[in-house]
Each structure stands twice: as structure tokens, then as C-alpha cells.
Structure 1
């Protein structure tokens, strides 16, 4: 029996290479293509594929789809892996009348080791024209790659991403920018501050442009920032105990319900 074929557009990128390796290991046939995206290369990659996975940034998706969408047969599932979903889903559905399924792997090109349920989750957002079999296909592909998919809507995803990824990025940027160019502070650096620097290093030195693009493309980013500012006002008013009590929810109510356990 022939292996199910999955086409990867952007197969030469970090996430594209990760998925190509995992798909091959799981027994799939992989049609990989990367820049330059010639029509011959694209046609060869998508021919016979059950699904076409776009591993490209959101800012080039429109350009890429102008080349890819005319080559699809209307039955193939078109999916993406971008970190925002409302705008990419709109772009994919504008170019392609067939089934569209958005995905967001909640991990990077070097996934952390450990429990897949904690570290390899994938948000899946079905498009308007996608049937249950189309969504199930994409979910099965990720399961076979060792991931744990879960369904949501594009809007719910982007609101959550604005809070978890976008707000983490922008508050880290603002905090460290506030303290920048103050050499007199360095003798006072504590181990906890050093841990915060270490945690933010990769995000701000290697992936800053990626996170900037995610923040700007997410329609919920500004709302998340305004919410954060409202809580800073508690600190400015001296009501730090209110913030501490609310923040302790992560170690109190959340873990009692058996949810994610912050490390």
C-alpha cells in the first residue's frame, strides 16, 4: 500500500525540516519544496498529496498561495502552522475554496523533551469548508508525529496567543528596555534576575523578529496590553497584595483542577 503523501511548502525552514523528518519517520511520503518556489517544483510537491502544509511566515502567505492554490485539486486539505490564526485562515480561504485547516504547533523547531501532552500540543482550527474527515486527517498527521492536537477556533486561539506568547514577549521587552543602558545596576543583579535574562535571551536575540510579527499580526494584542496595564495600576496605587493573591491562582486553583502545572 502506498504511503499517504503530505506536501510541505517551506520544507527548508527550521519547522519544515522538523516536520519532514518526523513525517518520514512516521511512514508518510513527503513532498518538500522551498525557495525558489518554481511552478514545476510546487506541482511535483503537491501532486498526489492528501494535505499541503504551509511552513511559511504569515507575511509571505498571500504571495505563496498565489502560486500554490491554483495547483490544488479542491479535495486536498490546505493547512498552515503560523502562530496566529484569524488572518492566515482568511488568507487561505480567500485563495482556496477547498478544505482549510489552521494549525499552530505550540513548540519550536527543537521541541522540549518530556511528556508530549505537556510539550507537543498543537492547536487545530477547522475552516468553514473543512469536513470532519479533513480535520481528522490533519489531527492524525500530528498524532503520528508524536504531537497532541486539540481543537479551537481561530478567534479563541488568537486571544489566547496574545496573552500567552504576545504578552510574555512585549512585557519582557518593556521590562528589559526600562533597565537598559544603566551600567550602575549590574552589581545588584540577583540570581532571579539572571534567570529572567536567561529565559528571555533566545526570544529577544534570535527570535525577536518572529515575535514582533506575531504580535503585530494578532488582532488581540492591543487588548492584552491594555489588560496588563490595568493591573500595573494596582501596583502604582500600592495594592501589590491584590496582584499577589490573583497571581497565586496558578499554583492554587489551577493545579487543584489538574490543569497545566507551571514549572
Structure 2
């Protein structure tokens, strides 16, 4: 399998536009459709495409996968770029009998230098997986293989827990104007870092948490750390947290 022509479903979204632009710059044939979708629209756009790439929210995956499956032929690859993988891959496999590949680009619509990693999870057909990896590499990204479960456990910790702890922290401090005179530079840095997540992307993150089957497992693990803090053993937590700087602490390079 070799991918030379792609169809991006959700081509007007931020990630859809990114991949359409990158694929075109890499010399690939690119087509795009966006809402409102219809079977006739998708069928016309999908004709002759090697890859149909779903750049749609996790909540829309089942409906869009079913629509695409109804108009694709068995030689075309169906793939997605959702930030969760277990349920989207299951949805694509249930809807479509042809090649299926799950992917998750670990960056946003405006990736910075070095933000190139793309998780690739198996679905159906190893040759399709290889072709999708080559597709991402051709655009300058760095694909790596994982499983859907391993991916979702990691995202529940890295992405989901980051959101839930941030939103909980600022919710706990809301409606307390008496704190404003005491704001420090470090608090302002945390506030600035959280602004986009909480004012623009909260709905997206809430949807991803709902779609990830391992979200509550990560929340419970974090709650156990809070229980240690409530017991007063902050030094133990600080020592454990220093794992992230272990190379520097041991005298090695970071």
C-alpha cells in the first residue's frame, strides 16, 4: 500500500487544515469535506482516495465512521486523529470491513519545532498501518507504534489529568476577590498557561475525558496523592515528584 491521495473529513477544523496543508506541501493529492456531511458528498470526495482521514471530534466518530464506511471500497484505508483511541478504533472496525488505523498527533494545529510525534495504533491490516506511518513521515512527522489501551492510559494521565487538576485548582480559588492582592508571579504563570485550556478548549477536554475509558482511574490515582498531602506528608510527595528531574539530580544530562 502507498498513500498518494487523501480525503480529510473535517477539513475546515484546525487539525484538518493542518494535515491538508502539510499533505499538499508533501506532494500528495488532497481533498476535503466538512459539515454538513452527507453520504453523497463523502462518496464523491472519497472516490479514488487511498486514505480517508477522520479529523472529527470523538463524539462524532461513530456516525462519521458509519457514513464513510457505507461509501468506501475495501481497498481504501480508514484512519482517525482522535486524542483517544480505544473507542474510536472500535467504532471504525465495527463500521468498516476494510483497512483501519488509529492515530493521534501529539501536538496542536500549530506545532512548534520538535513537536512531531504521532502515535499509531493497530486496527486492521499491517500493510495499512505501514502506509499510514509512511504518510506521516512524508509530512515531516515522527510516527511511533503503540496499542490503543496503552495510548488511552497515557492520555488519561498526561492530557486528562492535566485538565482535571487545572480546572479543579482554579475552581477552588474562584469567587475569592480577597486573593487578588496576593497574586504572585508563579501564580500568574500558571494562570497564563491555563487560559486557553479553560476559556477556549474546556468543551474539547471534557469530551475527551468522557471518551477515555481510563480517565477515572487516573483521577483516583491523583486523589491518593491528595490524601497523602492531607495527611501532612508533603516531603514524601516532593521526593516522589522529583522523579521528573532524575537525570539532573543524579548528575547526568537532562
TM-score (ref. length: structure 2): 0.95
In structure 1, C-alpha distance between the alignment counterparts of 2:182 and 2:158, rounded to whole Å: 29
CA, structure 1 residues 81+254, in 2 after alignment: closer, same or farther (shift >3 Å)?
farther
Structure 1: gaps (5+ residues): none
Show CA shifts across 1:160-203 (max 9, x none): 00000000000000000000000000111111110000000000
TM-score (ref. length: structure 1): 0.92
Deviation at 1:44, TM superposition (A): 2.2
Counterpart position of 1:120: 116
Structure 1 consecutive aligned stretches of length 4 or more whose deviation exceeds 4 Å: 253-256
CA, structure 1 residues 68+255, in 2 after alignment: closer, same or farther (shift >3 Å)?
farther
Counterpart position of 2:78: 78
Three-state SS of the structure 1 residue aligned to 2:119 is strand
Deviation at 1:254, TM superposition (A): 8.7
Deviation at 1:39, TM superposition (A): 3.0
Show CA shifts across 1:72-103 (max 9, x none): 11121110000100010111001001111000
Three-state SS of the structure 2 residue aligned to 1:71 is coil
Written as runs of structure 1 = structure 2, the 5 A alignment for 1:56-95 is 56-95=56-95
CA, structure 1 residues 147+241, in 2 after alignment: closer, same or farther (shift >3 Å)?
same
Three-state SS of the structure 2 residue aligned to 1:41 is helix
Counterpart position of 2:40: 40
Show CA shifts across 1:22-59 (max 9, x none): 00000000121111223332122211111110001111
Deviation at 1:255, TM superposition (A): 8.9
RMSD: 1.8
In structure 2, C-alpha distance between the alignment counterparts of 1:77 and 1:153, rounded to whole Å: 18
- Count of aligned residue pairs for this structure pair: 252
Counterpart position of 1:52: 52
Three-state SS of the structure 2 residue aligned to 1:252 is helix
The more displaced of 55-64 and 201-210 is 55-64
Three-state SS of the structure 2 residue aligned to 1:225 is helix
In structure 2, C-alpha distance between the alignment counterparts of 1:39 and 1:97, rounded to whole Å: 17
Structure 2: gaps (5+ residues): none
